[in-house]
A = this chain, B = another copy of it.
Amino acid sequence: MFEILKLAPLFFGLEVQEITILINKVLHQIQHFSNNEVLAFSGDRIEKAMILLEGKLKGEMIDYSGISLKIEGLDPPQMVAPAFLFGPQSIFPVNLSALSEGKILIIYKNDFTSLLSSDSRVLTNYLNIVSGKVQFLSHKIALLSYKTIKEKIASYLLNQLNPGSSSLIMNQSQKGLAEMFGVARPSLARTISKMEEDKIIRWERNRVIILNLKSLELILGHLA
């Protein structure tokens, strides 16, 4: 019944039998949902942990005008909004609806904390998940706080660069990098070209050579 949970990050390191025993020790429900069913609205209070067992869900973030901003699919054995289960704003960050029929494992908050207390592996896994979100978002904020394309490039290169090395292998196309930075590809190419002109870097297709590390660092230094 819970075989899929062997693959869930929350239960990493546990066998199916162990998982089943843990879950059967706490109050839980199996909720069935049908195709196109709305499971939760953005802003609704979250009362329970929800882990997808079967089927497919969709999370939509809605903006002021009603146009959906971001759509994200959820497959088993993903947990719904793990980092919003606790905290001062424990509300659904998205509209949650079904893309198929399926099943969700439901554990109310108090029972979920009991589950966490009962096995240090599960507790550590959950703390890793939530803390990992913080670390991911912190990194994203650092990236978003760079305003100019030159800063974004410098930051990216300095982050990818191994200490003591002066070149790096690119595993990302310029097009992909532009998407990642949220900028226009031709603008990215133009800025790279300018940095090449200025003899800061040499940009080959799969490799970037740092010609003047100090200049690269100074680009970011102007942030203060």
Contacts and interface: CB of A to CB of B under 8 A. Distances in A.
Contacts of A132: 86-89
Q: Is the interface of A mostly helix, strand, loop or mixed?
A: helix
B137 A134 contact: yes
A164 interface: no
Contacts of A124: 86, 113
Each complex incorporates copies of this chain amounting to: 2
Contact of A140 (B90, B130, B141): B141
A90 to B, nearest CB: 7
Contact of A141 (B67, B131, B141, B220): B141
A86 B127 contact: yes
Contact of A134 (B66, B84, B117): B84
Interface residues of A, number: 49
Contacts of A134: 83-84, 87, 130, 133-134, 137
Given A113-B120, A117-B120, A137-B141, A128 B221 contact: no
Interface of A: 63-69, 83-90, 93, 110, 113-114, 116-118, 120, 123-124, 127-128, 130-135, 137-138, 140-141, 144-145, 147, 158, 182, 216-218, 220-221, 223-224
Given A64-B216, A83-B135, A87-B130, 13 more contacts: A65-B221, A68-B224, A69-B224, A83-B134, A84-B135, A87-B131, A87-B134, A89-B132, A110-B120, A130-B131, A134-B137, A141-B144, A144-B145
